[in-house]
A and B are shown apart, each in its own frame.
Chain A
């Protein structure tokens, strides 16, 4: 018996044995998540890096090895899981988006608009200079606007951070996610239609925003009603919340809106309708953590499937460099009058470097809408996302420690003898 037939026999036996269960893909995904969890823990304990780096490394290794559990462009259950993970994160981020802050401190909104605009045009012009056609450069520039609230919130959790830079980075990341989702989902629908007038260009944005707003409003009203008789600290409320977000995500995707955008809007509306402090994050706990970990693994598996060549690498590095510079510059230029110091503005810009699921979803939409252009978009987008999921998490951690907003020292836990009590 040769090796191939032995493996075939083994797999045949395996599939026979697995018949009553959920199947081999489920086993593989479960083992993958177990490995990611262990890797995240080890990376934090022995290297002092955020857990998300461990998740991404496991996903990337598996992706490079040719794991077929998530095929690009995403569709079906993997797309839904990614959208659901992003929706959960963005719902919470939406609930933290302080609309009244912009009334009292419009410069924060100015910082957001400026950094998003500079990032978009900076990346667009760079890609044009490098010879990429507009239909490819535009989606990548839109994707570059996003600063991943998912990565940032995981880093904040790992470092137990709180303070002005942490809060501002999270707010700006949520805002630029909002812009990028609205524009990205709308423009994906237009990629092969080439609209002529401004109205033709704006119409799809209004449709995506409108549909997402309606679903978000329904979600917010349902939760508002539930909170009238359910305690926000109850585990049942957390489960209800997760279930409603999942239903909302599926519904939004079906009617043509953006599931993460609907969740973000839902979070904002719920906080407006119910200004009481949110207390369910602690209850969401492990379920939400599992979902976001799955999202990070999925993103890196998919992103690792890109073609890595030297010309692509140089474009990717240019995009990453320009994006980082534009974000820091945007935040810094609009900093006077915003209540932050120059040092804080610099580190806010750095903390906004992570890219992850939202960027992947935008790239996925363009690729689905136009497979031909999608290939070119993918070439640059996927490596950028993978690099900035890892490097962005590290940079965000560095920013939080540099401004003294972490409650834990940046030494690997395994080698830390005492907790640092000083700022």
Chain B
């Protein structure tokens, strides 16, 4: 798998027609006739149902004051010398890189692939005298100090989005899950939407932004909201209807490809997957693999038991649930979209884990779900770990240093 997420990669058609001047993006040279702007959505490729792919955006920090450090190019150069599964690619700013697995079949498979990538990252980081850190945000970096990675596509996006592109120095985990066909992918997408709060609370690791405690467990998603076409995907359960929606959007000239949508979950037709994008990057690859196992178990439950039918009304509480999970993490209130019942999100997560036991066992994800369950029962996620460290150390740079040790398995 050579996916690239977050900002579209350079292989895509550019959002703007010219890079010659900063004003060019304001009046892109779109075809005058809306009909001629229409782009046809590529067909939904075949993939093995329940296959997995994981992408992690990671922070590169210096080992002096633990601020973000612009070492992406050096890191990519060194990583290219080591044969590894998956891929390592640059991200929007020069202090970020993204690693991804090849196609996996279980959480165990994910950790088997992520472990050697992590080892190589650590080895090369040591060689460059930097450290690699997980987490959804860097605790005290200043967005204006970031530099855009030197790649045409990123420069174009920087021109279009201005300071938002530097504020997009946030770090997420994306999970791809293989779907049997296009309609099944949309069905899975909208079923999975009910569990967005679960994913947010379990992965939350971005309580600090620009040196301040935001009071959110996951402040990262607030940065994503600033982008147009973020949030939820339109409710349609038929690929034909989705194609029609896509073509209508491209006719407006606002959208040129699927990558222009920053939805929480979006179909990925070229891979034959749906891509869940709300996770903060966890502090460890083990937790990243466990979260992938949770997603896969949910998907297996959906495919094999068809437990409920998603409806447009599910989205009445979607934004509220999402906010609750971002703000309060595992302490959030969850409003059940079907019944309207209010309950602690923690309880609902534990309930789903019980429902998933049989499927997780079949997928060799029992250990992964067990680890997640233990942390939920102890009311712990990475955001809480970070806050506890800050409470003890009173120095965010030291929290980042300890997070770097945690990523390498030493804390």
Residues of A within 8 A of B (CB): 95-96, 98, 100-101, 104-105, 108, 160, 162-164, 167, 171, 231-233, 275-279, 281, 339-341, 404-405, 407, 419, 421-423
* B64: Cβ under 8 A from any A Cβ: yes
Contacts A339-B74, A404-B147, A422-B147: A101 and B129 contacting too (C-beta < 8 A)? yes
Contacts A340-B74, A421-B148: A105 and B397 contacting too (C-beta < 8 A)? no
| Inter-subunit contact A104/B395 (CB<8 Å) | no
| Inter-subunit contact A104/B127 (CB<8 Å) | yes
| Inter-subunit contact B127/A423 (CB<8 Å) | no
| Inter-subunit contact A164/B128 (CB<8 Å) | yes
| Inter-subunit contact A160/B145 (CB<8 Å) | yes
| Inter-subunit contact A423/B78 (CB<8 Å) | no
Give 18 pairs: A residue, B residue, CB < 8 Å, sorted on A: A98-B129, A101-B63, A104-B123, A162-B69, A164-B128, A276-B395, A277-B66, A277-B401, A279-B65, A339-B74, A339-B78, A339-B127, A339-B128, A404-B147, A405-B70, A422-B150, A422-B155, A423-B150
| Inter-subunit contact A279/B71 (CB<8 Å) | no
| A-B contact sample (11 more), CB < 8 A, given A162-B69, A276-B395 | A95-B64, A98-B63, A101-B129, A104-B126, A105-B129, A167-B69, A233-B395, A278-B65, A339-B127, A421-B158, A423-B70
* B251: Cβ under 8 A from any A Cβ: no
Residues of B within 8 A of A (CB): 62-67, 69-71, 74, 77-78, 94, 123-124, 126-129, 144-145, 147-150, 155, 158, 166, 393-395, 397-398, 400-401
Least Cβ distance of A44 to chain B in Å?
19
| Inter-subunit contact A231/B158 (CB<8 Å) | no
Q: Which residues of B sit under 8 angstroms from A276, Cβ to Cβ?
A: 393, 395, 397-398, 401
Q: Which residues of B sit under 8 angstroms from A339, Cβ to Cβ?
A: 74, 78, 124, 127-128
Q: Please, how many angstroms separate the alpha-carbon atoms of A105 and B74 in the complex?
A: 14
| Inter-subunit contact A407/B147 (CB<8 Å) | yes
Residue among B66, B147, B400 with max Cβ neighbours from chain A (10 Å):
B147
Beta-carbon nearest neighbor of B94 in chain A: A423
Q: Please, how many angstroms separate the alpha-carbon atoms of A279 and B126 in the complex?
A: 22
Q: Please, how many angstroms separate the alpha-carbon atoms of A277 and B63 in the complex?
A: 8
Least Cβ distance of A239 to chain B in Å?
19
Contacts A105-B126, A105-B129, A232-B395: A404 and B63 contacting too (C-beta < 8 A)? no
Q: Which residues of B sit under 8 angstroms from A341, Cβ to Cβ?
A: 74, 77
Q: Which residues of B sit under 8 angstroms from A167, Cβ to Cβ?
A: 62, 69, 129
Q: Please, how many angstroms separate the alpha-carbon atoms of A233 and B397 in the complex?
A: 11
Least Cβ distance of A166 to chain B in Å?
10
Least Cβ distance of B149 to chain A in Å?
7
Q: Please, how many angstroms separate the alpha-carbon atoms of A281 and B62 in the complex?
A: 15
| Inter-subunit contact A163/B129 (CB<8 Å) | no
Q: Please, how many angstroms separate the alpha-carbon atoms of A275 and B395 in the complex?
A: 13
Secondary structure call for the A interface: loop
Least Cβ distance of A194 to chain B in Å?
42
| Inter-subunit contact A277/B395 (CB<8 Å) | yes
Q: Please, how many angstroms separate the alpha-carbon atoms of A403 and B146 in the complex?
A: 15
Beta-carbon nearest neighbor of B129 in chain A: A101
Beta-carbon nearest neighbor of A344 in chain B: B74
Least Cβ distance of B141 to chain A in Å?
11
Least Cβ distance of A62 to chain B in Å?
36
Residue among A232, A278, A419, A421 with max Cβ neighbours from chain B (10 Å):
A421
Least Cβ distance of B5 to chain A in Å?
22
Q: Which residues of B sit under 8 angstroms from A104, Cβ to Cβ?
A: 123, 126-127, 129
Least Cβ distance of B276 to chain A in Å?
31
Least Cβ distance of B81 to chain A in Å?
10
Least Cβ distance of B82 to chain A in Å?
13
| Inter-subunit contact A422/B395 (CB<8 Å) | no
| Inter-subunit contact A164/B71 (CB<8 Å) | yes
Q: Which residues of B sit under 8 angstroms from A98, Cβ to Cβ?
A: 63-64, 129
Least Cβ distance of B209 to chain A in Å?
19
| Inter-subunit contact B64/A277 (CB<8 Å) | yes
| Inter-subunit contact A164/B395 (CB<8 Å) | no
| Inter-subunit contact B64/A231 (CB<8 Å) | no
Q: Please, how many angstroms separate the alpha-carbon atoms of A339 and B127 in the complex?
A: 7
Q: Closest 3 CB pairs between A and B?
A: A277-B397, A104-B126, A101-B129
Q: Please, how many angstroms separate the alpha-carbon atoms of A253 and B123 in the complex?
A: 42
Q: Which residues of A sit under 8 angstroms from B148, Cβ to Cβ?
A: 421-423
Q: Which residues of B sit under 8 angstroms from A404, Cβ to Cβ?
A: 147, 150
Least Cβ distance of B91 to chain A in Å?
13
Least Cβ distance of A125 to chain B in Å?
33
Least Cβ distance of A136 to chain B in Å?
38
Beta-carbon nearest neighbor of B122 in chain A: A104
Q: Please, how many angstroms separate the alpha-carbon atoms of A48 and B213 in the complex?
A: 38
| Inter-subunit contact B71/A277 (CB<8 Å) | no
Contact of A422 among B123, B127, B158, B400 (CB under 8 A): B158
Q: Please, how many angstroms separate the alpha-carbon atoms of A276 and B65 in the complex?
A: 9
Least Cβ distance of A341 to chain B in Å?
7
| Inter-subunit contact B78/A162 (CB<8 Å) | no
Q: Which residues of A sit under 8 angstroms from B74, Cβ to Cβ?
A: 164, 339-341
Least Cβ distance of A241 to chain B in Å?
16
Q: Please, how many angstroms separate the alpha-carbon atoms of A162 and B68 in the complex?
A: 9
Contacts A278-B65, A404-B150: A105 and B127 contacting too (C-beta < 8 A)? yes
Least Cβ distance of B159 to chain A in Å?
9
Least Cβ distance of A121 to chain B in Å?
28
| Inter-subunit contact B147/A279 (CB<8 Å) | no
Q: Which residues of A sit under 8 angstroms from B166, Cβ to Cβ?
A: 421
| Inter-subunit contact B64/A278 (CB<8 Å) | yes
Q: Which residues of A sit under 8 angstroms from B67, Cβ to Cβ?
A: 162
Least Cβ distance of B247 to chain A in Å?
34
Contacts A233-B395, A404-B150: A277 and B65 contacting too (C-beta < 8 A)? yes
